[in-house]
Every structure is written in C-alpha cells, then in structure tokens.
Amino acid sequence: LYSSAASDVYKRQLEYIFDLAAPNGYLAWYPLKQIIARTGAQLVVTPVFLGGMHKLTGNDPPMMRDADVKGKVPYAALEFQRFLDRHGMDQFRMHPALPFNSILLQRVLVAASDEAERQALVEALLPAVWERNIDCGDAEVVGAELAAAGFDAERLLTATQDPGVKAKLADNTEAAVALGAFGIPTFFVGGEMWFGKERLEQIEAYLGGGRP
C-alpha cells in the first residue's frame, strides 16, 4: 500500500509517452514544460516506438486514417496551425518524410544516462527534427546533431545497438499500450490518462487540484 506521502508524489508525477516522430509531440512539449514550471510537478519522459504502437493498436497517422473523411484532414490542419499560432511556434516545419521511422532517435532517448539527460536530448532533437527536418534514420546526421548539442554522440549511437536498449524501447511501447495508450502525445498522472495536446489545460487543472 502507498503511504499518503508516496501517493501525493505519484499524483504529482507527469509521465509523457513520447516519440520524436509525432508532430503533435513537438507541439505539446513546450506548453507542457510551462505547466511543469507552474505546478511544480515532476516530468518523466518515457520513449516509445510510435510505429510499434500503431501496429499493436491498429492505429494509423491521422492524415492516413482520415484521408477518406470529407473535410476532416483540412480541419485538423487548421486546428494544428491555430495551436502553432497561439503558442508562437513559428519555427515549426512539417517534415517532408512524414511518416518516418524514428527507431534510431527513440533508442537514443532510451540510452540516456538519466532522466535529466533524456529531457535534454528531447530539447536538442525536437528542433532538429521539426524545424530543420534532419534525416532521422541517418546515424551520421543524428550523431552530428548530438555532438553539436554537447552530447557524447559515440556513446549514445553505440548504445542504440545494445540488446538491452532495444528491448527497453519495445517494453516501454508494450507497457504504454497495455495502459491504454494508442498515439502521441499521451500523458499519465496518478494513474489517469490523457491523450492529445488539447488536454494540456485539463492536465494542469488536475495537477493544480482542480477538476480534470
């Protein structure tokens, strides 16, 4: 059984189920950090493989899933742009290779030495992917980005081939799906799940003691 103190800590921890391949993951990251600062919650980033998550759940990227629904894709694009404008994200550029394979990047996140390094990697790689549109499957390109940001690129890239890192990414993905996750961005706080950047205000209310 949890003590009341442990239970309170549990409810103040926000787990972000995350893959660098999701454009909405980029959009959610920056306002999420502001929520963390305002509420004092503890952020934990859990890297998963979005391609594997889609396979396990039968889900597809929205532009593919909704392609035959009249009006839905253009409206989603409108709401996407509204979110960018609202949060001043004028550097965002949709990746021309979307949907792309993110497994190399996700293994880099898993290979982080601790949570602080993992979040620093997210900070460095999000602009590389969604502002400069790097080739996410090219180890040389990814390594150059890591090195330029001050990381030990050789250590991280070597670790992406480690069986333990590969297994951890697969385990993270399966565990997230088992808890109900089906896409990015997904958030868990105190056992409660939220999906989508549009839920950030609800999450902040929950963390602040208001109604979710």
Q: What is the chain's pLDDT, residue by residue, as a tens digit (212 residues)? A: 444 444 555 568 999 999 999 999 999 999 999 999 999 999 999 999 999 999 999 877 666 666 677 778 888 889 989 999 999 999 999 999 998 999 999 999 999 999 999 999 999 999 999 999 999 999 999 999 999 999 999 999 999 999 999 999 999 999 999 999 999 999 999 889 999 999 999 999 999 854 44
> pTM here?
0.89
191: left (phi over 0), alpha (psi -120 to 50) or beta: left
**Measured distance CA(209)–CA(193) in Å, rounded:** 16
CA dihedral over 77, 85, 28, 135, signed as positive or negative: positive
